[in-house]
Amino acid sequence: MNIPLVDLKAQYKSIKNYADNKVNEVLSSASYIMGKDVIEFEKEAQDYLGVKHAISVGNGTDALVVALMALGIGKGDEVITTPFTFFATAESISFIGATPVFVDVEKDTYNIDPSKIEEKITEKTKAIMPVHIFGQPAKMDEIKKIAKKHKLKVIEDAAQAFGSEYKGKKVGSIGDVGCFSFFPTKNLGCAGDGGMITTSDDNIATIVKALRTHGSGENGQKAYNLLNNINEEVKISEDHDDTVYNPLKYYNYLIGFNTRLDTIQAALLRVKMNYIDEWNKIRRENARIYDENLKDTSLTLPVTIDEGKSVYNMYVVQSNDREKFVNRLKEKGISTGIYYPVPMHLQKVYKNLGYKEGDMPVAEYLSHRTFAIPVFPELTNEQKEYIIYSIKEIDK
Ligand SMILES: *Cc1c(COP(=O)(O)O)cnc(C)c1O
């Protein structure tokens, strides 16, 4: 039996007609940039996540970069984050000229350890960027309390956690800004790159919208005033929608980006939004089945905090003998993934930050032990049974 880590073909098959029709409609409409589906998708995401603004962008990395810039963070600033994440988290901080300051993670939840944050705060610290790793919400109350005390912003990296909840609230709606990725293998993914920034702050939203499109037009002018503390009203134009024919398009106020979500991707995401609750529910159910059936093996299973509801973007276990499990599962046709083999503070590119082995003992420990097994919603009962059976056999 061959089981991939994520089966994108099975997912496509399950929505093929619906998805094909919607994508074809966009092709026929020829409204490829900022078309109706983009606007509608943003509204639907806003309602779903419980935020005032959901602003789609080109990918999750851009979402993080633009969010940091919109908060006015840049050269000389420090941003606290986790070393146990995908590189884009730290990269976005470095890209805008700030310095990522790593705080070790918790052994059981894989998320940033709030009890270790305060000792890393300096005069230069501007924000905390927790990651809801593998779909599991970080301890947001503790993080927000520290942020409030030290007047720091909170940027949630929710790239792996569309629909995850913390105390009944969707992640991405808890900090000052939330960032999502729609990379195809994320639990909500499109057919290419895509991303989104969420916030309930009108000013942040205005700056994000301006940066998304070359800092131009009405949003650009408003964003310029906001970032430079200029108190002057910006005249609202008659035609203030952001279409290709916007007459304000060629007036620029900021150095921004071209980072928009394609209309085709938005149309596809709107189709998938109809299934996301169901898919997330099945992911949780699959995780429960693994929890129950693998509890007597030598593997350490993932732990969810009581206040949280994970979407299990990945089901990540730990073993002293990871190599044996990964290799033998591969022989049996079962794909696994190692997340993450090198913690951020030990990445070559960050040599200049001066970290050494032993600085983040938990992240380092996990980086030698963790691997993900398939948990995607399209897994059949037969596949799940085969995965459980195989792990138990290897464990003998
Ligand atoms: C995927 C991911 C990103 C980046 O998203 P892209 O859409 O690939 O740019 C950022 N942070 C985390 C934690 C991710 O998993």
In angstroms, what is the span from residue 152 Cα to ligand 1's centroid? 23
pLDDT of res. 237: 59
Q: How far apart are CA 164 and CA 156, in angstroms?
A: 12
Q: Contact 94/118 with Cβ under 8 angstroms? A: no
Q: What are the tokens at 328? A: 């033998």
Q: Confidence class of residue 120 from pLDDT cuts 50, 70 and 90?
A: very high
Residue 356 lies in a domain: yes
Please, which residues bridge with residue 196 across strands?
A: 56, 180
Q: Express as a percent the part of the chain with pLDDT over 90.
A: 93
Same domain, 114 and 225: yes
Q: Contact 272/368 with Cβ under 8 angstroms? A: no
Same domain, 91 and 204: yes
Query: Is the pTM higher than 0.75?
Result: yes
Same domain, 102 and 229: yes
Q: For ligand 1, is residue 195 a contact (CB within 6 Å)?
A: yes
Residue 93 lies in a domain: yes
Q: What's the angle, vertex CA 297, arms to CA 315 and CA 318, rounded to 5?
A: 40
Residue 216 lies in a domain: yes
The count of structural domains within the chain is 2
Which of 35, 90, 81 minimizes the C-alpha distance to 61? 90
pLDDT of res. 247: 56
Q: For ligand 1, is residue 183 a contact (CB within 6 Å)?
A: yes
Q: Indicate whether 260 pLDDT > 80.
A: yes
Domain end marker among 273, 295, 321: 273
**What is the average per-residue pLDDT within 3-9?**
97
Same domain, 253 and 308: no
Closest residue by CA, ligand 1 atom 14: 159
Residue 222 lies in a domain: yes
Q: Indicate whether 122 pLDDT > 70.
A: yes
Same domain, 248 and 328: no
Instruction: Give residue-wise pLDDT tens across range 211-231.
Output: 999 999 889 999 999 999 998
Q: Indicate whether 244 pLDDT > 60.
A: no
pLDDT of res. 202: 97
Note down the domain range covering 295.
Answer: 276-395
Same domain, 205 and 84: yes
Q: What's the angle, vertex CA 364, arms to CA 363 and CA 367, rounded to 5?
A: 85
Which of 243, 282, 308 minimizes the C-alpha distance to 379? 282
Q: Indicate whether 234 pLDDT > 80.
A: no
Q: For ligand 1, is residue 193 a contact (CB within 6 Å)?
A: yes
In angstroms, what is the span from residue 36 Cα to ligand 1's centroid? 26
In angstroms, what is the span from residue 157 Cα to ligand 1's centroid? 8
In angstroms, what is the span from residue 45 Cα to ligand 1's centroid? 18
Q: Indicate whether 85 pLDDT > 70.
A: yes
- Residue listed under structure tokens 């960027």: 129
Q: How far apart are CA 263 and CA 228, in angstroms?
A: 33
Instruction: Give residue-wise pLDDT tens across range 172-191.
Output: 999 999 999 999 999 999 99
Q: Confidence class of residue 246 from pLDDT cuts 50, 70 and 90?
A: low
Q: For ligand 1, is residue 310 a contact (CB within 6 Å)?
A: no
Q: For ligand 1, is residue 181 a contact (CB within 6 Å)?
A: yes
User: Which of 79, 89, 156 is the pocket-test mutation for ligand 1 (most atoms within 8 Å of CB)?
Assistant: 89
Q: Indicate whether 380 pLDDT > 70.
A: yes
Instruction: Give residue-wise pLDDT tens across range 303-353.
Output: 999 999 999 999 999 999 999 999 999 999 999 999 999 999 999 999 999
Closest residue by CA, ligand 1 atom 6: 60
pLDDT of res. 240: 53
pLDDT of res. 217: 87
Domain end marker among 224, 247, 273: 273
Same domain, 266 and 360: no
pLDDT of res. 236: 59
Q: For ligand 1, is residue 88 a contact (CB within 6 Å)?
A: yes
Q: Indicate whether 248 pLDDT > 90.
A: no
Q: Name the DSSP letter for residue 278.
A: H
Residue 312 lies in a domain: yes
User: Which of 56, 64, 84, 86 is the pocket-test mutation for ligand 1 (most atoms within 8 Å of CB)?
Assistant: 86
Q: Indicate whether 239 pLDDT > 60.
A: no
The minimum-distance atom of ligand 1 relative to the CA of 88 is: 10
pLDDT of res. 330: 98
Same domain, 242 and 283: no
Residue 135's CATH number: 3.40.640.10
The minimum-distance atom of ligand 1 relative to the CA of 195 is: 7
Residue 343's CATH number: 3.90.1150.10
The pairing of beta strand 125-129 with beta strand 78-81: parallel
**What is the average per-residue pLDDT within 373-385?**
98
Same domain, 178 and 136: yes
Spell out the residues 6+ positions from residue 209 whose beta carbon is closer than 8 angstroms to its own: 55, 219, 223, 242
The minimum-distance atom of ligand 1 relative to the CA of 183 is: 7
Count CA within 13 A, CB hemisphere, residue 82. 30
Closest residue by CA, ligand 1 atom 2: 159
Same domain, 220 and 284: no
pLDDT of res. 249: 74
Q: Contact 113/136 with Cβ under 8 angstroms? A: no
Same domain, 124 and 197: yes
Instruction: Give residue-wise pLDDT tens across range 25-78.
Output: 999 999 999 999 999 999 999 999 999 999 999 999 999 999 999 999 999 999
Domain end marker among 273, 298, 317: 273
The pairing of beta strand 153-157 with beta strand 78-81: unpaired
pLDDT of res. 232: 83
Q: For ligand 1, is residue 89 a contact (CB within 6 Å)?
A: yes
